[in-house]
Structure 1
Amino acid sequence: MPTLDVIDRNNQKVGQVELSEAVFGAEVKPHLLHEVVVWQLAKRRAGTACTKIRKEVRGGGRKPWRQKGTGRARSGSRRSPLWRGGGTIFGPKPRDYNYTVPKKVKKAALRSALSSKLGEEKLTVLKGFDLESIKTKDFVAVLSNLSTSDCLVVIPTADDMVEKSGRNVPKVKVLRAEGLNVYDILKYDRLLLLEGAVAGIEEALS
């Protein structure tokens, strides 16, 4: 069972936490990470791109010129896709890019992502931010003490102090444990778990 030091906001060791082998010591499966990240990005697509096909373009009812005798190529409509301003061939239409991925695959991918961060020694367990007010300067000072500026901060429950203090910091995202996902874990260099969030993550993924 992996054991990790718990540190405070000043980067001092204040204890230890035992992590679940099933969640943080799982085999890293790149194909699952890829599958879930592709699914997450597909869900985010708006799917609002739209082009007009030939019949939807305005005008073009009259034949531009007679069929023969002009020396030019024959043409039947100004709406032809070959003409400037004409319709688009096989252009995009509004659609939903979302599809389903089995829950078991999502959980397995999350376990792989967490295990990969632990294996790369890029997972830190923090006792707490202990912020006295909503202040970005104090939030950044804690990250500076931890020698990181590119991280995903996972908190156990809603916390306005931490969430609002960190929302404008570049390359940093504050996320509640219930919203933990593969894409964000892989996107940020370090994973910063508040001690209270560890139990919730293990319970959800065990």
Structure 2
Amino acid sequence: MNIAIEQQQGRDKAGVWGPAARMLLGLSLLLGIAYPLAVTGVAQVLMPHAANGSLIVKDGKTVGSALIGQNFQRADEFWSRPSATGGSAYNGAGSGGSNLGPSNPALHKVVAERIAALKAAGPVPVGPVPQDLVTASASGLDPHISLAAALYQIPRVAQQRKLDAARLRALIDAHTEHGWFGDNARVNVLQLNMALPR
């Protein structure tokens, strides 16, 4: 009697492995191969630019991505938001903020240095420096600056390039993106610098 029960239990356990293995294989094919291929295919058809990294190409050469900031330090260019990814390197492999709080003396020191660098590079407007020109973003790779930060840099860029400030203002306006909620106007620095007349 006990032998018959044990044999039946063994057959029951053996019968579970077959359906479990088929389920594992089926879900692996569905969710590990079919679904990613379908999503990739739909993305390539509906939004290929975004699906391929929002790359910016100039003269047949990829110069960057609209999604990842770059380091601009020349006086005749608009500067990006500072990066906390290893100095000013904009290291895409090391995304992250500085983790310096507002009461940290190290943050005060680095902000003061950045303000001094802005003022040393050329003329600046009277008034406070926009916060995003002297503090790093949470990712450290922000490709945008605020509209105020772009406007703040007009005197320096205009002087360096010998351009009319109104022309630069029009260029900034043409490259300003507005947020969905409120007036979170921002400017992609790479695209703005690429549009500057040479």
The answer to whether the superposition gives a TM-score over 0.5 is no
Q: TM-score, normalised by structure 1?
A: 0.20
> Relative contact order (alpha carbons < 8 A, sep ≥ 6): 1 or 2 greater?
1
Q: TM-score, normalised by structure 2?
A: 0.21
More helix by share: 2
More strand by share: 1
